Amino acid sequence: MNEVIEAFRLVAAPDVVIAIVASAIYGLVVGSLPGLSATMATALLVPVTFWLSPIAAIATIITASAMAIFSGDIPGCLLRIPGTPASAAYTDEAYAMTRKGQAEMALGAGLWFSAIGGIVGTLSLVLMAPLLAEMALSFSTFEYFWLAFLGLMCATLVARSSPIKAIASMLLGLLVSCIGMENPAGTPRFTFGLTDLLGGIEPIPALVGVFAVSEVMRAMATAEPPKLPDRKFGSILAGQWMLTKKYQWPMWRGNLIGIIIGVLPGAGADMAAWVSYAMSKKFSKEPEKFGTGHPEGLVEAGASNNASLASGWVPSLLFGIPGDTITAIAIGVLYMKGLNPGPTLFTENARSMYALYLIFIIANIIMIPLGIVMIRIASKVLRAPRASIMPVILLLCAVGAYATGNNLFSVLLVGAFGILGFVMERNGYPVAALVLGIVMGTMVEQNFITSLIKSDGDVMPFFERPVSAVLAAMTIGALLWPLGVWIWNRTGGRRLPA
């Protein structure tokens, strides 16, 4: 009980309260601008976290990402241009409701069910994380190796592009993580004689480049979105309680799907929204109404994408394995602030974990009043010219990169990864798999080498321990899955000859 009281005291600190409110407004604005993702909003906050306390730093990441995921619905509903990838799944449905004169109901559903999904996802984090932490305390380097490897494989399985391209992206990320001399042997690798590369590639500049600079380049290559005309909105939350009662099963199904997908490394809110919308249509009693302005899909997908945000922190806090691209950035901030992910985080820093739970709940509660205000001023925010926004984002990327390493090389790294991210996305290679490779490469290698040293070069202990054997079977299955799909497609689903 003392830890819980201390957590309330930590969250009530003036700097944390200011961080929550400021990052909430920031997340709502950035998420509502077409083309600027929640991940990019989070990446741009990293330089700010240098000067914040650990709890305030995490509060900015949690609050901004939750707000940005919701506010991406606003341009999708009003302009048919999704503000974030998570909103793309149901943009056509929301826009159809707007054309029928139901913009308030569509935006209200996005806001109301996002808040409910976020709170349910937080409860799943509160329940799952301590139980899994107890189990994780018995893990050795053998289990951690397979767990990290399984995370990488899951990222390739859930990618919306081809599995081959996802694996190629992941391998490129692993290659980047090999740069430098911070490896078990202490041998410089791929440094090409540059002293700046001896320390390796820090994940933060790579993440800022891949998610923020590439977004700026993509904006330069696409046409300016149409301006939103001035309009007055009626009651935003009118009718939401009726929708909650009418579609309570889709809502709970969306929450459950979001929680499950959030725990999968590399999946994230956009995957949860797509899967939930498809499930809603499949199990609906009125599937023929989907696409014509039917709110059922919005209820399920809206609940799902925010539920996945909170549950994505489960593997991140327990094992240092990102549940999505946002928690990949959050892991970097956790390490920077001395809150190293792992099961001991729940025993040695219990008050910080309780504070994190409270911040999640507060963020989803204040989302409702702030979201209503954001919807009402949306026409003014969406009129901001892209030509004035993008240079500011680029400047923030450069300043943030310089702050991470206090040298110009970090700025060049951000630019290089921005170009790499832009080229990869233009050619259908998922950048999420690249990011997971960079973040988790060191974890895979260190646990693999340490395990071999402990077993004196014998690989059998990787398969002899019960938990390790189960994780190994799952990882090998995930590795062979793309090959099985390829063979199935080549044979047209026919049985192979004996």
pLDDT value at 159 more than 70: no
Q: Strand, helix or coil at 180?
A: strand
188-197, 232-241, 264-273, 344-353: least confidently modelled range: 264-273
Residue-level pLDDT at 351? 85
List, for residues 369-423, the tens digit of each pLDDT value: 998 888 888 767 666 677 777 787 788 778 777 766 677 888 888 889 999 989 9
pLDDT value at 486 more than 90: no
Residue-level pLDDT at 161? 67
* Buried/exposed 330-351: b ≥16 CB within 10 Å, e otherwise: bbbbbeebebebbbebbeebbb
Distance CA 44, CA 170 (A): 23
Centre a 10 Å sphere on the Cβ of residue 58 and count the other Cβ atoms it contains.
Answer: 24
Task: Provide the pLDDT confidence category of residue 497 given band limits of 50, 70 and 90.
Answer: very low
Distance CA 314, CA 148 (A): 14
More reliable by pLDDT, 296 or 235: 296
Q: Strand, helix or coil at 266?
A: coil
pLDDT value at 281 more than 70: yes
Q: Average pLDDT of 11-15? A: 90
Distance CA 312, CA 324 (A): 6
Structure tokens at 78: 């009003």
Positive or negative torsion for Cα 428, 394, 78, 39: positive
More reliable by pLDDT, 240 or 81: 240
Position 345: which residue type?
Answer: L
Structure tokens at 339: 């809150």
Task: Provide the pLDDT confidence category of residue 496 given band limits of 50, 70 and 90.
Answer: very low
More reliable by pLDDT, 220 or 116: 116
Position 100: which residue type?
Answer: K
Is residue 42 within 8 Å of 329, Cβ to Cβ?
yes
- Residue in the block written with tokens 């991210």: 421
pLDDT value at 178 more than 50: yes
Torsion of the alpha carbons at 406, 411, 413 and 416, rounded to the nearest 10: 180
The residues facing 189 across adjacent strands are: 180
- Closest C-alpha to 417, from 226, 209, 233, 212: 209
* Buried/exposed 246-279: b ≥16 CB within 10 Å, e otherwise: ebeebbebbbbbbbbbbbbbbbbbbbbbbbbbbb
82-96, 171-185, 239-253: least confidently modelled range: 82-96
Task: Provide the pLDDT confidence category of residue 291 given band limits of 50, 70 and 90.
Answer: confident
Distance CA 356, CA 16 (A): 11
140's CB contacts (< 8 A; 6+ apart) are: 451, 465, 468
Distance CA 111, CA 120 (A): 14
Task: Provide the pLDDT confidence category of residue 20 given band limits of 50, 70 and 90.
Answer: very high
- Closest C-alpha to 101, from 80, 127, 119, 77: 77
Q: Average pLDDT of 452-461? A: 85
Which of the given ranges, 32-36, 45-49, 320-324, 342-346, has the highest pLDDT on average? Answer: 45-49
The residues facing 180 across adjacent strands are: 189
More reliable by pLDDT, 114 or 265: 114
pLDDT value at 324 more than 80: no
Residue-level pLDDT at 40? 78
Alpha-helical runs (H) found in 209-349: 214-221, 240-246, 248-263, 268-283, 296-311, 313-319, 325-336, 345-348
pLDDT value at 225 more than 70: no
Task: Provide the pLDDT confidence category of residue 494 given band limits of 50, 70 and 90.
Answer: low
Position 116: which residue type?
Answer: I
Task: Provide the pLDDT confidence category of residue 498 given band limits of 50, 70 and 90.
Answer: very low
Using CB atoms within 10 Å of the CB of residue 413, give its burial: 0 to 12 exposed, 13 to 18 middle, 19+ buried: buried
- Residue ranges covered by each domain of the chain: 2-490
Which of the given ranges, 32-41, 228-237, 256-265, 384-393, has the highest pLDDT on average? Answer: 256-265
The pLDDT mean for the chain works out to: 81
Distance CA 348, CA 238 (A): 45
- Closest C-alpha to 356, from 321, 303, 316, 323: 316
Position 343: which residue type?
Answer: P
Rounded percentage of the chain residues whose pLDDT exceeds 90: 7
